[in-house]
Amino acid sequence: MSEQEIKVPDLGGADEVEIIEILVSVGDSVEAEDSILTVETDKASVDLPSPGAGKITKLSVKVGDKVKEGDVVAMMDAEGAAGGAEDEPEAKAESGASSDNKSEPEKSKPEPKKKSGGSRKETVLVPPLDGMEEVPVIEVNISEGDTIEVDASLVTVESDKASMDIPSPYAGKVVKVLVAEGDKLSEGDKLLEMMVADDGDEEVEEQSEESSGSSQDSKPEPKSEGAPPKEPEVQPQSSTYEPPSPGARVHAGPAVRKLARELGADMTRIKGSGPKSRILKDDVNDYVKSQLQQTQQGGSGAGTGSGIPGVKLPDFSQFGDIEREPMSRMMAVTASNMQRSWLNVPHVTQFEDADISDMEAFRKSQKAAGEKKGVKMTPLPFILKACATALAELPQFNVSLDMERKEVVHKQYIHIGIAVDTPNGLMVPVIRDVDQKGLWELAAESAELAQKARDRKLKPAEMQGACFTITSLGGIGGTAFTPIVNSPEVAILGVSRAAMKPVWDGSEFQPRLMLPLSLSYDHRAVNGADAARFTSLLSQLLGDIRTLLL
């Protein structure tokens, strides 16, 4: 290993550039070409690459410093190079507070005092905030276990006038972060606990919580990553700030943040394409474009895609521990379909109970026959058959609306979808020509399709072409629910668990097995009277299954 300087390379004509982000910490191992830090000119942000592989031993600059070609920004123990006595002088120089090229990041600090051996714990407090109080934290820039330099940005706070970074008064290791995004801070509030090294080779700040409010001599810098001190970056739109999504840390320079604010883009939703997922201007522009496209296409992005503002998420982590996981494709597709149907279709749900006492007696009588055939007869085939009959008798339910052409599409076939609960989410295979099939055939086919759905073996064609959907929660429980129409179909039947109920027969109460039905329908296509006719018919058909033969 040998000590090697990391210098600012040719900046393509730019004279002095500003450091807007430092992407490594002392102790980090880097590969050749890994980004060490990012500088920003008035035209672009550029990452400075590592000249080789090794371990960072020193950072000579801080965010906000201006550097030019040839300046040393960091030192590293280069991998593969021979170590030896000649390394030592440089290593010593590194332990000093400054090197000739750097822009004296610590010049405003109180006189440092040498300490020898060990380390001590310091609680860092919020310094004076230019008279502001209760300023929300918009970004926590450190995590437990991080090794940070003096002046490293700890948190970013944002008032209605400006955003600013609170810098670390010490170099050391973060032990505990005491604030979270969304917290409101005032002078003297506790920010974090950190172990500050005070071995003989390192200089430490002689400050104490009591004497100086810990970090209070260290004024917050106007919006960090690049904005030089005394030039607060005014954030005119900060009142429209959305709390960031939990767990999301945003890496972006001030110019990019400003652009996002101006465009009203929530940066916690933008995927950075820069090094270490840093968000670039192009990412913000692409995100805004895609949101606009989704809105035009009626999709459901962060918002609803309908002009209705999306639901803003609070920072859930303020209430307790959370974990985030990406949605599966199926969940994302289902979510977007449900939302589209819910927003496009004026839903009404009609409820009815069907007396299935006789049907149930018949079903049970078929148990032995079912075992012989290897098919289980559940209530579902009867319901399928009843729905097919009702769709034939009330064809206004077997349509789709073409609102663009102002036409009603009448279907001359009766294909029915059945919602299947699978470990991967909801799937809706379709049974074709239900009206032409017998109960055993329907029992076998629905069981086979449900199994295929659970095994993720359904072909796309097996999930297309439904005129109507049945969603049965009868095997699970519940007394009624309001299913969402699987648009462009115009109705869906929800089936809940059958239960014994006392039914008045004109002279006394009889115990009858009643099956709750919930028919949701698109009120543009179907009127309430027809819906009541449909559920009454279903109730009659299931109440006397002989009528299914007629």
Q: Which residues bind ligand CAO (CB under 6 A)?
A: 378-380, 418-421, 426, 450, 471-475, 483, 495, 497-498, 515
Q: What is d(CA 494, CA 476) in angstroms, rounded to the nearest whole number?
A: 13
Contacts of 172 (CB under 8 A, 6+ apart): 119, 122, 147, 148, 194, 195, 196, 197
How buried is 191 (Cβ within 10 angstroms: 0-12 exposed, 13-18 middle, 19+ buried)? Answer: buried
Residue nearest to ligand CAO (CB): 474
Q: What is d(CA 6, CA 61) in angstroms, rounded to the nearest whole number?
A: 11
Q: Considering only the C-alpha atoms of the chain, give the largest distance between any 2 of them, rounded to a whole number of Å.
A: 109
- Which one is catalytic: 251, 410, 415, 523? 523
Q: 401 or 450: whose CB is closer to ligand CAO?
A: 450
Nearest residue to 193 via CA among 207, 212, 172, 210: 172
Q: 118 or 423: whose CB is closer to ligand CAO?
A: 423
Q: What is d(CA 229, CA 38) in angstroms, rounded to the nearest whole number?
A: 18
DSSP 162: B
Q: 326 or 477: whose CB is closer to ligand CAO?
A: 477
Q: CA geometry: angle at 10 spanning 4 and 12, to 5°?
A: 160
Q: What is d(CA 84, CA 89) in angstroms, rounded to the nearest whole number?
A: 11
410 labelled catalytic: no
Q: 66 or 376: whose CB is closer to ligand CAO?
A: 376
Closest separation in Å from C-beta 527 to ligand CAO: 24
Query: Residues 168, 170, 174, 176: is their CA dihedral positive or negative?
Result: negative
10 Å Cβ neighbour count for 213?
19
Closest separation in Å from C-beta 127 to ligand CAO: 53
Closest separation in Å from C-beta 336 to ligand CAO: 15
Contact indicator for 61, 67 with CB cutoff of 8 Å: yes
Closest separation in Å from C-beta 370 to ligand CAO: 10
Closest separation in Å from C-beta 400 to ligand CAO: 20
Closest separation in Å from C-beta 50 to ligand CAO: 52
Q: Which two tokens stand for residue 349?
A: 């749900």
Closest separation in Å from C-beta 472 to ligand CAO: 4
Q: What is d(CA 304, CA 462) in angstroms, rounded to the nearest whole number?
A: 29
Q: 124 or 359: whose CB is closer to ligand CAO?
A: 359
Q: Is 291 helix (H, G, I), strand (E, B) or coil?
A: helix
Q: 421 or 530: whose CB is closer to ligand CAO?
A: 421
Half-sphere exposure of 313 (CA within 13 A, CB side): 15
Q: 129 or 375: whose CB is closer to ligand CAO?
A: 375
What residues act catalytically?
Answer: 523
